[in-house]
């Protein structure tokens, strides 16, 4: 090889996409997208269901032809590079009736990996993801997080040069998600090029570079710092009481304030100038006689960037007030209460002595890892599962909770879609109007509200099964509230939904709560869990923490430290060898460390790193996120 050829090889991107287009008949799934991924990079293709991510991945993997444009993977046509690709599809590519080891052996066989190499590689990979103790367990018996880890191991067993991950962590709990992304960082540090699609904007911040994709077009591309800087705004967290009047007063004050997003116990206010914005917020709240509890400036989130970009293009969906005909329940009364609630399946205790209280007008979050018992709890409260012990109160009733007169006061949006795929959207909505007893004279107006709010006006005769998952979620939510329930159960309601629609979801949920509806919600998207007034963290069927989002974060022992160092993977490996794994996590080009006594520990940590020739550029305390708090609580509870 000549020197010129060697230089060319070094600078050639692992993936190059130029004006890529894909159409399905009259529908344009990709509208001329351009991006390049460098070798050893973690590149994020970020967008909601229906944005075009899966279509792009299928073209990159060589399983689908493009309509137009050019794609090169490792300098070749995707079909010619397939033996050097690892591909984790959105739908699990595992065989449920094969064991963990048998699934990996099958994947290795497809790539003609020699037996001796397979044994070494499979053991190393399974140890890295903590699956080595379960080699003989059937894939069908694994949790969602374990399945995703196994799918990743199957893709990595052939030591691919490029790894394609299509929404690898959707529906996976925060603990497994963090472990998954730490493994991706380690894989990338070994030279593997990773391109990952995800709708979770918080985890996208772990990517080296990010492309925001929406309706087949890339809206923006760059590093997280680039995207934040391009926004030109600052975020101010405001805690005031009461929150709704504070939001109203600030939204009418104009000047520096660009956007206000309410959460459970705070407002996120986007301003053009941080200092002027802070002064304005203080002045407005003082003028209205609204006490200001706390105020803090921070960087904008990736969701702030994405939402602002979409709004600039006029893509914000219309917001219509719900056509309510009932006055709603009086706030403050007990809607849901459990004492010592238990559920046992054979020898397995899924729910252990659960005590929660949800009042009318409150949004209560039930959070936990996969298998923690959240969905089982909801099914018991809805009368779909009998309890094994304890007491329940639902809408003032304590027995026979599955009676029609009780169920008519409940709205339930399940984790698995409650819609019928072989019915049209309109037929589904008409069916649920009948099931929930919506008066005939009100049905047309209610159905019209759902279709308009979901952006599906004119598409009501489309088969529901043909909709992307995020759009199904919108329709399922509408179906669950048309009868104006007093109590609303939402099990993972916004999975795959775009940022604008997610905000609309939560605005609607808050509106129902303001009218007195009690809302019990589960979610793995912890950034949106901040919308809850109160929440409980479940671990192995029992509650380990309860309170408001702010209180739970404030109660965390120790301090979260952001450490900027290079090389970051070497720093992570060193610190995980000396600290508990969960205390160290990679976020892009920096580490997050949870330290119980930073004044004592941080100096020693910096000495360890410098002794290993790792450059420490900065270390600063940062506030705990709800994800940091959740992982800390779960890991500490599991060690007891």
Per-residue model confidence (pLDDT) at position 6: 41
Work out the average pLDDT over 235-249.
90
Number of H helices, E strands in the chain: 22, 26
Cβ atoms of 23 and 67 within 8 Å: the answer is: yes
pLDDT of 417 higher than 80: no
Q: pLDDT class for 373, splitting at 50, 70, 90?
A: confident
Q: Which residues pair with 413 in a beta bridge?
A: 490
* CA dist., res. 629 & res. 530, Å (int): 12
Helix (H, G, I), strand (E, B) or coil at 316: coil
* CA dist., res. 197 & res. 207, Å (int): 10
Among 402-416, 522-536, 616-630, the range with the most confident prediction by mean pLDDT is 616-630
125-135 burial, b at 16+ Cβ within 10 Å, e below that, comes to: bbebbebeebe
Cβ atoms of 270 and 259 within 8 Å: the answer is: yes
DSSP H or E run through 591? strand 590-595
* CA dist., res. 394 & res. 336, Å (int): 5
By C-alpha distance, which of 412, 365, 420, 421 is closest to 384?
A: 412
pLDDT tens readout for residues 144-198: 778 888 888 999 999 999 999 988 877 677 777 888 888 888 889 889 999 998 8
pLDDT tens readout for residues 108-152: 998 889 999 999 999 989 988 888 889 999 998 887 778 888 888
Q: pLDDT class for 535, splitting at 50, 70, 90?
A: very high
Structure tokens of 68? 């137009």
Task: Count Cα neighbours of 294 within 13 Å in the Cβ-side half-sphere.
Answer: 10
By C-alpha distance, which of 369, 397, 367, 365 is closest to 381?
A: 397
Helix (H, G, I), strand (E, B) or coil at 22: strand
* CA dist., res. 287 & res. 274, Å (int): 20
Per-residue model confidence (pLDDT) at position 504: 85
Cβ atoms of 36 and 16 within 8 Å: the answer is: yes
By C-alpha distance, which of 630, 624, 414 is closest to 535?
A: 630
DSSP H or E run through 474? helix 469-481
171: CB partners within 8 A, 6+ apart: 144, 370, 492, 495, 524
pLDDT tens readout for residues 539-549: 888 898 999 98
pLDDT tens readout for residues 465-515: 888 777 888 899 999 999 999 999 998 887 767 788 888 888 889 989 999
Residue 304: burial class (beta carbons within 10 Å; 0-12, 13-18, 19+): buried
Task: For 608, list phi and psi in degrees, rounded to 5.
Answer: -55, -45
Report CA Rg, the chain: 25
Work out the average pLDDT over 98-117.
92
* CA dist., res. 520 & res. 640, Å (int): 28
Residue-averaged pLDDT of the chain: 88
96 or 203, higher pLDDT: 96
Q: Kindly state the percentage of the chain with pLDDT values over 90.
A: 49
Q: Strand 193-198 vs strand 162-166: parallel, antiparallel, or unpaired?
A: parallel
Per-residue model confidence (pLDDT) at position 10: 53
By C-alpha distance, which of 215, 219, 221, 222 is closest to 30?
A: 215
By C-alpha distance, which of 497, 531, 484, 549 is closest to 363?
A: 531
Per-residue model confidence (pLDDT) at position 619: 93
CA 487 to chain centre: 24
Please name the residue ranges forming H helices in 210-301. 224-231, 243-251, 274-287
pLDDT tens readout for residues 1-59: 443 444 444 568 999 999 999 999 888 999 999 999 999 999 999 887 788 999 999 99
DSSP H or E run through 373? none
SS3 content of the chain, % helix, strand, coil (to 5): 40, 30, 35
Per-residue model confidence (pLDDT) at position 181: 85
By C-alpha distance, which of 507, 535, 511 is closest to 521?
A: 535
């Amino acid at each position: 090889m000549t020197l010129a050829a060697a230089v060319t090889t070094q600078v050639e991107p692992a993936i190059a996409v130029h004006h890529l287009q894909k159409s399905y008949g009259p529908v344009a799934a990709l509208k001329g997208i351009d991006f390049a991924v460098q070798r050893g990079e973690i590149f994020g293709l970020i967008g909601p269901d229906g944005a075009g991510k899966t279509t792009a991945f299928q073209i990159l993997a060589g399983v689908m032809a493009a309509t137009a444009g050019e794609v090169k993977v490792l300098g070749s046509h995707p079909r010619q590079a397939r033996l050097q690709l690892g591909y984790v599809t959105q739908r699990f590519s595992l065989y449920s009736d094969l064991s963990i080891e048998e699934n990996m052996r099958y994947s290795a066989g497809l790539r003609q990996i020699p037996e001796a190499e397979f044994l070494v590689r499979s053991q190393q990979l399974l140890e890295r993801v903590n699956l080595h103790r379960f080699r003989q367990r059937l894939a069908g018996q694994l949790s969602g997080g374990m399945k995703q880890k196994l799918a990743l191991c199957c893709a990595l067993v052939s030591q691919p040069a490029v790894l394609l991950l299509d929404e690898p962590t959707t529906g996976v709990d925060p603990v497994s998600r963090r472990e998954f992304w730490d493994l991706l960082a380690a894989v990338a540090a070994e030279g593997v090029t990773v391109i990952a699609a995800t709708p979770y904007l918080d985890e996208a911040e772990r990517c080296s570079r990010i492309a925001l994709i929406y309706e087949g077009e890339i809206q923006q591309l760059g590093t997280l710092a680039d995207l934040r800087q391009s926004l030109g705004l600052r975020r101010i967290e405001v805690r005031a009481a009461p929150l709704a009047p504070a939001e109203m007063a600030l939204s009418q004050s104009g000047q520096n304030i660009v956007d206000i997003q309410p959460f459970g116990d705070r407002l996120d206010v986007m301003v053009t100038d941080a200092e002027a914005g802070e002064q304005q917020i203080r002045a407005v709240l003082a003028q209205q006689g609204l006490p200001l509890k706390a105020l803090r400036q921070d960087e904008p989130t990736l969701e702030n960037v994405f939402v602002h970009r979409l709004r600039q293009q006029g893509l914000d969906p219309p917001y219509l007030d719900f056509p309510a005909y009932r006055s709603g329940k009086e706030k403050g009364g007990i809607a849901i209460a459990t004492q010592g609630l238990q559920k046992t399946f054979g020898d397995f205790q899924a729910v252990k002595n659960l005590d929660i209280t949800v009042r009318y007008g409150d949004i209560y979050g039930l959070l936990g890892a996969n298998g923690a018992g959240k969905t089982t709890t909801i099914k018991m409260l809805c009368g779909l599962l009998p309890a094994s012990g304890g007491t329940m109160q639902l809408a003032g009733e304590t027995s026979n909770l599955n009676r029609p007169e009780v169920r008519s006061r409940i709205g339930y949006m399940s984790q698995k879609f409650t819609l019928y795929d072989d019915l049209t959207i309109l037929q589904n909505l008409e069916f649920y109007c009948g099931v929930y007893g919506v008066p005939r004279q009100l049905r047309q107006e209610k159905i019209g509200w759902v279709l308009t709010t979901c952006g599906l006006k004119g598409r009501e005769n489309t088969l529901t099964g043909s909709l992307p998952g995020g759009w199904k979620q919108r329709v399922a939510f509408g179906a669950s509230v048309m009868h104006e329930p007093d109590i609303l159960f939402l099990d993972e309601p916004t999975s795959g939904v775009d940022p604008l629609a997610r905000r609309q979801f939560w605005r609607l949920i808050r509106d129902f709560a303001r009218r007195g509806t009690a809302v019990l919600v589960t979610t793995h998207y912890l950034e949106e869990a901040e919308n809850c007034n109160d929440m409980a963290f479940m671990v192995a069927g029992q509650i380990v923490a309860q309170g408001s989002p702010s209180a739970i974060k404030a109660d965390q022992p120790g301090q979260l430290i952001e450490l900027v160092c290079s090389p970051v993977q070497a720093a992570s490996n060193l610190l995980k060898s000396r600290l508990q794994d969960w205390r160290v996590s990679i976020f892009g080009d920096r580490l997050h460390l949870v330290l119980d006594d930073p004044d004592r520990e941080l100096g020693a940590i910096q000495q360890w790193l410098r002794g290993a020739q790792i450059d420490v550029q900065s270390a600063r305390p940062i506030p705990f996120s709800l994800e940091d708090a959740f992982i800390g609580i779960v890991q500490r509870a599991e060690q007891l």
